């Protein structure tokens, strides 16, 4: 007898509907699985066989053929255990499936028949909601009970949590037992613009006014930032305070970031949604695969996990050269593409890059009063050359962080602006940018100055006459590249936005130049 059950798998972060077809026919006992299954999917045969028996059902001693369609899409992961088991039970008439309902099932089976959580449920639910596969029917998504919070986040589908194979059969047989969950609760919807993490408030940092100003410009325009200074001057503390002054994530940004964390299995029962912008700090021994993603079946790397957030690379020159060079394309395109024999995978990677480094291998080149620097000029040059010129060129703001004075560290009454105060200016500047960009670009694919392309840059960045002359002199005197020139204009545009001006003045340009030279 033939039965069909619908499911869904992930190809990168894209959800692909899968039809699980099972035929149970006479013949010698066999269990064949076809349709381009990966190793984990092929291993489902033993899990399914044992789980069916331990759940009190009969496993057919016949020839079983399982086809996973479409056959040209590689099936990864363990989420197909439940649909395979359910299709076998339906083919042997141990459970009855509704033929006129759009039902999709995912879940991993334990040997005792309990259902274990799977990765990527949110991305699957979102993909199903946009696929229009239900054809005006009520779209039902049956998921492990542990993953119900992820599925519940998508308002276009009805989600149902299941704890075991026996529980699933009971719910299908008795619809009155089902608890249909649809959409997102109003409390979560109202939380996107309210929640903010101020545990690393910028107001707690004493002194470092130049570095704080650089952070504000970075947050306002979405620019990349490089901080150079001796050990112990507060570079890491400054970087960790950046998320507290960034604008809150919109619903769309939060959804994208949460889907990525769902795919990597970093969500759970306690945390099923990301309200805060990600802050990732990869170790300087991280490989290229760890940074940009990779593996036999590509998985997101650190730059994708930092999507809509901050990627902080401490000890920047200590990273492997190939890992650093791999950042160049994602920094320009906002996404990373990984090709494998089984296909091409594209992951989003729109992040703020914040890097920090010492001025020399020992770290004390600019801090001779504390400790003399013993590095030779050759060693210093070699240390800096670990980062290529094109990558240096992509750092919009480069600031030197010096050792703060004793008086500023011990001052008890000195006023320091809080993250909330700085964030208010950042949000206002972002709103100016979005309003201006929307005038020329109706689809709104660009949201801040750092991502302006050539045409938009020309239309939105108007310099006063004296500023234009200053820009020309700087270009010729400092031998700036075309990329550096454009990034300089973008930073100046952000500085002008922070002072609520439509025109870039010489003061704006001079400050932007200060962060390039």
CA distances from 182 to 186, 206, 262, 382 (A): 12, 48, 19, 59
Structure tokens at 20: 């699980």
Separate counts of helices (H) and strands (E) for the chain:
22, 21
452-514, CATH topology level: Helicase, Ruva Protein; domain 3 (1.10.8)
**Which tops the pLDDT comparison, 187 or 87?**
87
CA–CA dist 223, 244 (Å, integer): 16
**Would you tell me the crossing angle of helices 482-498 and 506-514 to the nearest 10 degrees?**
120
Query: Could you tell me if 98 and 130 are in contact, meaning their C-beta atoms sit under 8 angstroms apart?
Result: no
CATH code given to domain 202-420: 3.40.50.300
Q: What is the pTM of this model?
A: 0.89
Task: Look at residue 335 in the predicted model and tell me its pLDDT.
Answer: 92
70-117 pLDDT, tens digit each: 998 889 889 999 999 999 999 999 999 888 788 999 999 999 999 999
Predicted confidence at residue 83, as pLDDT, reads: 97
Where are the CATH 3.30.230.10 domain residues in the chain?
Answer: 2-184
CA distances for 483 relative to 185, 228, 327, 392, angstroms: 46, 22, 16, 11
Distance CA 386, CA 384 (A): 5
**DSSP-based three-state secondary structure for 190:** coil
Residue 175's pLDDT band (boundaries 50, 70, 90)?
A: confident
Question: How confident is the model at residue 186, as a pLDDT?
Answer: 42
Which candidate, 18, 91, 17, places its Cα nearest to that of 52?
Answer: 91
Q: Which residues of the chain does CATH 1.10.8 include?
A: 452-514
Residues of the chain within CATH 3.40.50.300 domain(s) are: 202-420
Q: Are 377 and 311 in contact (CB under 8 A)?
A: no
H or E stretch covering 468: helix 465-477
**Burial class, 509, CB count within 10 angstroms (exposed 0-12 / middle 13-18 / buried 19+):** buried
Pick the CATH number of 2-184 from 3.40.50.620, 3.30.565.10, 3.30.230.10, 3.40.50.20: 3.30.230.10
């Amino acid at each position: 007898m033939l039965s069909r059950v619908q499911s869904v798998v992930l190809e990168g972060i894209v959800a692909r509907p899968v039809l699980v077809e099972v035929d149970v026919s006479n013949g010698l006992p066999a269990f064949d699985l076809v349709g381009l299954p990966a190793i984990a999917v092929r291993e489902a045969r033993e899990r399914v066989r044992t789980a069916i028996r331990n759940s009190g059902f009969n496993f057919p001693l016949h020839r079983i053929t399982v086809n996973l369609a479409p056959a040209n899409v590689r099936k990864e992961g363990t989420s197909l255990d439940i649909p395979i088991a359910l299709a076998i039970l339906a083919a042997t008439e141990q459970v009855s499936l509704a033929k006129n309902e759009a039902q999709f099932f995912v879940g991993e089976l334990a040997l005792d028949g309990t259902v274990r959580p799977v990765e990527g449920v949110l991305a699957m639910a979102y993909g199903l909601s946009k696929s229009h596969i239900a054809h005006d029917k009520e779209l039902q998504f049956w998921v492990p009970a542990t993953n119900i919070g992820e599925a519940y986040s998508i308002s276009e589908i009805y989600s149902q949590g299941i704890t075991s194979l026996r529980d699933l059969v009971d719910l299908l047989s008795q619809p009155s037992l089902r608890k249909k969950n649809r959409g997102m609760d109003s409390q979560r919807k109202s939380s996107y613009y309210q929640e903010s993490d101020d545990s690393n408030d910028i107001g707690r940092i004493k002194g470092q006014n130049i570095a704080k100003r650089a952070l504000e410009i970075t947050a306002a325009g979405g620019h990349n930032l490089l901080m150079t200074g001796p050990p112990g001057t507060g570079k890491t503390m400054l970087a960790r305070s950046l998320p507290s002054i960034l604008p809150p994530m919109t619903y769309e940004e939060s959804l994208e970031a949460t889907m990525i964390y769902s795919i990597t299995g970093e969500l759970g029962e306690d945390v099923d949604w990301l309200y805060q912008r990600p802050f990732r700090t990869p170790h300087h021994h991280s490989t290229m695969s760890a940074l940009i993603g990779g593996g036999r079946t590509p998985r997101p790397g650190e730059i994708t996990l930092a999507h809509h957030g901050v990627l902080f690379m401490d000890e920047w020159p200590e990273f492997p050269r190939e890992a650093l060079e791999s950042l160049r394309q994602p920094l320009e395109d906002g996404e990373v593409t990984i090709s494998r024999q089984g296909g091409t995978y594209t992951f989003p990677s729109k992040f703020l890059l914040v890097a920090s480094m010492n001025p020399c291998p020992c770290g004390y080149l600019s801090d001779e009063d504390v400790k003399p620097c013993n590095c030779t000029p050759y060693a210093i040059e070699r240390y800096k050359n670990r980062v290529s010129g094109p990558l240096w060129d992509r750092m919009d703001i480069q600031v030197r962080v010096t050792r703060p004075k004793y008086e500023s560290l011990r001052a008890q009454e000195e006023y320091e602006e809080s993250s909330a105060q700085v964030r208010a200016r950042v949000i206002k500047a972002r709103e100016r940018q979005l309003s201006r960009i929307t005038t020329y670009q109706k689809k709104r694919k660009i949201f801040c100055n750092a991502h302006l392309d050539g045409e938009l840059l020309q239309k939105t960045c108007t310099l006063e006459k004296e500023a234009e002359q200053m820009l020309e002199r700087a270009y010729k005197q400092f031998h700036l590249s075309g990329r550096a020139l454009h990034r300089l204009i973008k930073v100046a545009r952000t500085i002008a936005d922070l002072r609520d001006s439509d025109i870039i003045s010489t003061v704006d340009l001079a400050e932007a130049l200060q962060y390039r030279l």
